[in-house]
Structure 1
Amino acid sequence: MIEFNYETKFELTDEEGISQWITGTISEENCKEGEINYIFCDDEYLHKLNVEFLDHDTLTDIISFDYSVGSELHGDIYISIERVQDNAKDYNTDFFTELNRVIIHGILHYCGYKDKTDEDAKTMRAKEDYYLSKI
């Protein structure tokens, strides 16, 4: 089950459609959908988590806590709406494209994709682009 939670004034306009898109992605990646929580927040909220749990004193657009068991995906995905807005400007794209990229990025991590090396980052970006074309 996919749940959307809000710690900021932002709210998705089509939770059902986004949820179906995520479910389709999970299925296409040969994984099973467990309990996945999206928490939309601001920079301050996500920065506190980054410092407390990851010992990183930086701003970020997404932090995911993966509780998956085998191919059954479970976890909490925190997304800073402020970072997504800034990234959209920096990458010269619209807000919702960037938001959807970040939404699916977290799921792809749960499916086993990494992005620490240049090669892994290229693979991740290609997967993001592929699934963005399906929304």
Structure 2
Amino acid sequence: MIEFFYETAAEVDEKKYTDWIIRCASGYGYSIDFLNYIFCDDEYLLEKNKHYLDHDDYTDILTFSYESQKGVAGDIFISVERVKENAKTYKTSGEEELRRVMIHGVLHLMGFGDKTKSEQREMRKEENTCLKLFHVKH
């Protein structure tokens, strides 16, 4: 259902993150069909960004959606380096920023956008809602 792949070192409590992601998706009426997280470095993600989106800039996340009759399905590539830099910029922990980016990708797969200012505000609101669920025991 949810798999984790490492092109670079990353600290992820896979069971805890899996449970949390499933609970978040469920709260929006979605199930997880399949979801692959690929943790990588800046250069790896830059090459994906160039190849698939024709963008020549660094990013913290790329999300690729797959059609699914069952629920959320896709690949989420995350640059661990960008996440660490963003954590410093936003004055938060690396773990918290990683969770934000991880759920950001899931929210994209559920149809939330972030192109306009209003979409960005809505995305941040939904990220925060999901982040609060991380520490809730089930």
Residue equivalent to 1:101: 100
Residue equivalent to 1:43: 42
Contact kept, 8 Å, 2:24 with 2:133, in 1: the verdict is no
Residue equivalent to 1:86: 85
CA deviation map 1:58-98 (0-9, x unaligned): 00000010003256111100000000000000111110000
Contact kept, 8 Å, 2:33 with 2:68, in 1: the verdict is no
**Correspondence list, 1:28-67, <5 A:** 28-67=27-66
Consecutive unaligned residues in structure 1, runs of 5 or more: none
Q: TM-score, normalised by structure 2?
A: 0.94
- The residue identity in structure 1 corresponding to 2:36 is N
Residue equivalent to 1:69: 68
Distance 1:58 1:45 in 2: 12
Consecutive unaligned residues in structure 2, runs of 5 or more: none
Identity %: 47
Show structure 1 runs of 4+ deviating over 2 A.
68-71
Distance 2:62 2:8 in 1: 16
Residue equivalent to 1:116: 115
Aligned residues: 134
Distance 1:29 1:68 in 2: 18
CA shift at 1:31, angstroms? 1.1
Residue equivalent to 2:2: 2
